[in-house]
Amino acid sequence: MNKILILGIALFLIFIFLFWLLTRGYVKKKYGTKMLNHWPTRLAYWQAAILYSVGLTFVIMYVLRWTNVLTF
């Protein structure tokens, strides 16, 4: 059970890092550095990052379980 939890957390962190890596330039160009320092903009960005990361983690864990790579 601990291995599955560690795998889920690792996948979540990888997806959130990839989201940040792929979107940081676009967000900075779209909103500007000044607007990005305001908390509503930053909050919306990180909410989206967390939502996408949770969704992708769930999908990958489901696919791994469906293909019998993970058993729990």
Mean pLDDT value of segment 8-24: 96
Q: The tokens of 64 are what?
A: 């791994």
Nearest to 15 by CA among 57, 70, 43: 57
pLDDT recorded at residue 32: 87
The mean per-residue pLDDT over the stretch 63-70 comes to 90
- pLDDT exceeds 80 at position 72: no
By the 8 A CB rule, do 57 and 18 touch?
no
Q: Write the pLDDT tens digit of every residue in 19-64.
A: 999 999 999 999 888 888 899 989 999 999 999 999 999 999 999 9
pLDDT for 31? 87
> Would you say residue 15 has pLDDT above 90?
yes
Enter the tokens of residue 36. 């990005």
The domain spans of the chain are 2-66
